[in-house]
Each structure stands twice: as structure tokens, then as C-alpha cells.
Structure 1
Amino acid sequence: MKIAYDPTPLHHTHRLLDFPAVTADLGFDHLQLTPHPDFATHFRYPKMDRALIRRFGQAVDAAGITVPALLPVQRIAWPDEGKRVAAVKNFRRVIEIAIDLGVTTINTEFSGRPESFEDSEESFYRSMDELLPIVEKEGLRLNFDPHPDDFVEDGHEAWRVLRGLDSEAIGFVYVASHTFHYGDCLDTLAEELGDRLRAVYISDAFDHRASHGLRYIANPPTTSARVHQHLKVGDADVDFDALFGVLNATGFLAREDSLLVSNVFGENENNDAVSRFQKQRIDELISAQAGPTG
């Protein structure tokens, strides 16, 4: 299992080529590359050329870390056909970048619309008709997070959508701070996913369903906005002891190909201390599953 750093807090203050050294300095051996303007900004065509790919690879080697996964976000399930076609074009380029970097895993989102479930699902399968043969041919793994405000948010329903692709290349990303939007269903979901649960992002969030749905008050009352956080472990409502217990019981923590990602966005001004804290807490949560020693 690998523990990776999500460098999103660095996006507005650091160059892409600085990420590997900062990652190593923060105590992480691995980096999941997220949508930085020099890599692949949300929904736009990736901007890395061969020279930048080479320089980034050199920076990774110099820092003594690895990049086990890329995280692009493209509208591959968007109900508008023009945007879907553009997203597939952009995603093809992400795949090329992954291959050039020697990265074999791409973690992403569905990126459809909840008010257009059927059209978004159809768009998703249409996009996968084009992308999945490339993913399989190149020996890549493509894993999905059913993100809040996507066409599918419930964990079990998302797995049904993915299962419909009938491909070993496809897996699931479980984001701890999305727990309550998934339906708080990790116990049953992890058992169903088995080794197709390939990445877990570690950050905390409050349960928006608490206080009879009044945990957050948004105006106008009919708004469909989804609210969640990406806080450091222990700041909110996610039960991390239970989460790591499930990950241990299902074998996730023992697998060489599984990935944990520290995924805190809410405290950029304290990123150094927060990131070091995250690494320490993740290590402690893993160690706790091994039981007492002596």
C-alpha cells in the first residue's frame, strides 16, 4: 500500500515542478498529481508537452518519490454532447501523459449532472466506449469517485454503473469526506467492491444530514447545492477508526496496489503543519489495526 500526498493546497503558490520536493519534505513518499494549470485544469485540455513531462519526471526522481496516480477531472458524463466530446479528447491526452510518466493509475470522477441522470449515464457509457479500449490496451487502471453533485452520488449505485462496464481495469475511489453523500455505506460497499476498491482519500467532513437536515442552512431553502469539507482527520464527523477497521478487514491495507491519499483542502494557510499531521495520523490509524505489540 502507498500513502500519497494531494498537492491541491500548493496549486496557487507553487510551480508544478516544485511539487515533488515539497511532497518529500512533508514526509510523503508518493504524490497523486491533481489538476494544476500546468497539468490538466478542470475540464480543459492538458497543457503538458514532452519537455515539461520530462522535467517533471526528473523532479520526481530527484525528490526520491513516485507518482502512483494522476487525477484529472473532465466532463466525460456530461449530458451536453459537445462538452462530452471535448472531455473525451482531453482525457485521451491525459492517458498519453500518464503513459509518458510511467503512471499506471488514473483516478477521476464521473462528472455528469444529477438533474439529468439518464442522459448523463448514457453519456458516461458513450465516453467509456471510446476510452476503455485504450485504457485496457495500455494496461492502465481507471478508478471513479461518485462526487457530490454528480449524476450518481450513492456508493452502491455508483458501483452498479461501474460494474456495468464489465472490465477489470475499472475500480472505485472512496473519498472519506464524501462518506455522507455516498450514504455512509462503507461496511457493505467495501465487501461488495473487494479488490476493486483501489484508492481511499483521507479527509474529514461534517454529516450534512444531521439535525434533521439542518446541519447547514442554505438560502434559498430549495437550493440543490451540495456542501462538504476536506478537513484534517478528527475535525468533523467521519469515523476513521471504523473506516480503517473496514479497510483492514477487507485486505485493502495489505495490498501492494492500494492507495491512500491525504486529501485536505480547507486549511491551505496551515498546509505544512496539516500535511505533516495527516501523515502521522494515517500512520497511527494503520498501526492501530495491527493490534498491540509485545
Structure 2
Amino acid sequence: MVRIAYDPTPYHFNHGVLELPDIVARLGYEYMQLTPHPEFGPFHRMPKADDELVAALKKRAADAGVKIVALQPVQRISWPEEPQREAAVRNFKRVIEITAQLGVDTINTEFSGRPERSEDSEAGFYRSMEELIPVAEKEGVRINIDPHPDDFVEDGLEAWRVIRGLNSKQVGFVYVGSHSFHMGNQAATLLPQVGDRLGAVFAADTYDHHRSNGLRYITNPPGNSVRVHQHQEIGNGDVDWNELFDTLGKIGYLDREDAVIVSNVFGENEDAEGSALRQLDKIRELISGAAR
């Protein structure tokens, strides 16, 4: 049966990393996804956790009755410039090592390239994965990748093709609800193609920036190369959650023991606790009511 995990990012700004398992447990979640925390694994930099801190976090999670199901690093593994890409590979190898030390078998991440240099970024991605896949295989860690807005590949189907081109079952796909409208809003046709390579689903809502003749958001000057999306509570945006969960049910994802749905609401920190509780109830409701 699919597991429901909490992304504690709203608590990063005023809590240490060792406090997070107790917070997640208090919110009623059995599972958590460890996202970039400045004490542990900051964005785009070498992880700051030594073996002692890793062991302490593992113990705190066990004491709290919370299982860490995945780490979510963000490293420039597809960067078109070599110094940054090479540093990202070094950093990512340490992330894999930490993941294994925690007894976790999954990393959910992003391509982290540049859309204006998509060809160079894709080439960099494949170079990086030539080094990272053998390390992940050795440590028993699966890597799942999300086509994030403002990456070298944003369309969901094209991102799946890039992942499939690795020819490795060690790498899977992350479907992020908040990225639906940058990915092409094609869950019903995309996810059956991804099939058992779907490694994680992130549950947060967003507005469809294509609506209102493209004027749902206005940036000045017009034509800015910006990507706008939110990570709001389910129901506070335009994502068709019934269609998404029906699709997940039909492809068997909701009945897989290794499947995970991560609640990752970022935009409502003033009510983080209430939001987390409502998200848990809503995700359970969607799972229960999904087509099979």
C-alpha cells in the first residue's frame, strides 16, 4: 500500500534538522522526505552532515517512530558548465553515501540544467549519470527525477524519454502535482507510459498559468523568461486531483508497497500544522476514492 510522507520544509527555517522527526510524528505522519536543510544538505553545495550527524538523525527518526523514505537533494548535475557539473557530481556521490547510511533506498531530485542551453545540459546530464548510476547501484539507492520548471526539460513526456534513454532501471520518474501545467498537464496519458518507473508523487496544488489567455500572472516587462508555480494545499489550485489519483490507481501505483506520495506544501507557513493535517486527510481520501 502506498505510503504518505511529509516534506518538513516549512519547519526548516526555525528548527534544526534533528528536530524534524519529532515534528513529523506530531503531525501524524509515519514517513518523511528529507529535503535540503542548511545543517544537513544545502542546495547546490556539498552536504554538511558528517557521519556523527547522520547517525544522530537516524536515531532521532527511529525514536520518533518515523521512517525517512527518501532524500531530496538539489545539485547541478545537468549544468552546461563543467566546473559546476563536476562539483555537483562530487556532492551527489556524498548524498548517495548518506542515503545508504540512513538506511534509505530512494533519492528524489531534479535535472538541474538550463532551458536556454538544453542540448548542452542534456549532454551534461548523461555524463553525470555515467558516474552516478554505478555508485547508486553499489549502495542500493534508486534515483527518481522531476522535470522542474525552468529546467532544460520541462515537458513530462520529453523528460520521461530523457530518463528512459539512460537504459537503467536504477533511475525513475517523479510526478509533482505543482508542476502539472509546466509538464503539459498530461498525467492521464503520461503516467501509464512511465508505469513501474514512477518512483514518487508529490502532492501540492498550483494555478494553471495558461488560463485567462496567459494573463493569470503578469510580470513586467512582458516576455520575462520566468516560471511561476505554487505549492499550495490540495484544492487551492487548478490540478485535477481526481484524475491524477484515478490514473495512479489504474496503473497500480497506489497498491505498490514501495510507492510514496509526499505532501509538500511550501506557500502556507503561517498555518503549517493545519495545512499538514488537512493534506494528510485529503490524500487518504483521494487514495480511498481512486479508481482501480
TM-score, normalised by the number of residues in structure 1: 0.98
Secondary structure at the counterpart of residue 62 of structure 2: helix
| Cα distance between partner residues in 1 of 2:291 and 2:66 | 26
Whether the 8 Å contact between 2:232 and 2:268 is mirrored in structure 1 is yes
- Please state if 1:206 is matched with 2:199: no
| 1:232-256 Cα distance to aligned partner (Å, 9 max, x none) | 0000100111111111011000000
| Cα distance between partner residues in 1 of 2:239 and 2:161 | 24
- Please state if 1:268 is matched with 2:273: no
Structure 1 residue 137 displacement after superposition: 2.1
Instruction: Report the residue type matching 1:106 in the other structure.
Output: I
| Cα distance between partner residues in 2 of 1:191 and 1:48 | 38
Instruction: Report the residue type matching 1:30 in the other structure.
Output: Y
5 Å-filtered alignment, 1:212-223, equals 212-223=213-224
5 Å-filtered alignment, 1:1-294, equals 1-289=2-290
Secondary structure at the counterpart of residue 285 of structure 1: helix
Structure 1 residue 91 displacement after superposition: 0.3
Whether the 8 Å contact between 2:80 and 2:120 is mirrored in structure 1 is yes
| Cα distance between partner residues in 2 of 1:290 and 1:114 | 36
| Cα distance between partner residues in 1 of 2:49 and 2:140 | 22
Whether the 8 Å contact between 2:5 and 2:260 is mirrored in structure 1 is yes
Structure 1 residue 222 displacement after superposition: 1.6
| Cα distance between partner residues in 2 of 1:162 and 1:290 | 28
Whether the 8 Å contact between 2:245 and 2:291 is mirrored in structure 1 is no
Instruction: Report the residue type matching 2:270 in the other structure.
Output: E
| Cα distance between partner residues in 1 of 2:291 and 2:186 | 24
Instruction: Report the residue type matching 2:255 in the other structure.
Output: A
| Cα distance between partner residues in 2 of 1:205 and 1:18 | 29
Secondary structure at the counterpart of residue 83 of structure 1: helix
Structure 1 residue 133 displacement after superposition: 1.0
Provide the alpha-carbon RMSD of the alignment: 0.9
Structure 1 residue 289 displacement after superposition: 2.3
Whether the 8 Å contact between 2:4 and 2:30 is mirrored in structure 1 is yes
Whether the 8 Å contact between 2:58 and 2:102 is mirrored in structure 1 is yes
Aligned sequence identity (%): 57
Whether the 8 Å contact between 2:250 and 2:291 is mirrored in structure 1 is no
Structure 1 residue 213 displacement after superposition: 1.0
Structure 1 runs, 4 residues or longer, greater than 6 Å off: none
| Cα distance between partner residues in 2 of 1:290 and 1:108 | 28
Instruction: Report the residue type matching 2:200 in the other structure.
Output: A
Instruction: Report the residue type matching 1:183 in the other structure.
Output: G
Instruction: Report the residue type matching 1:215 in the other structure.
Output: R
| 1:238-288 Cα distance to aligned partner (Å, 9 max, x none) | 011111111101100000011100010000110000000000100111111
| 1:166-194 Cα distance to aligned partner (Å, 9 max, x none) | 01111000000100000001111111001
Q: Where do 5+ consecutive residues of structure 1 fail to align?
A: none
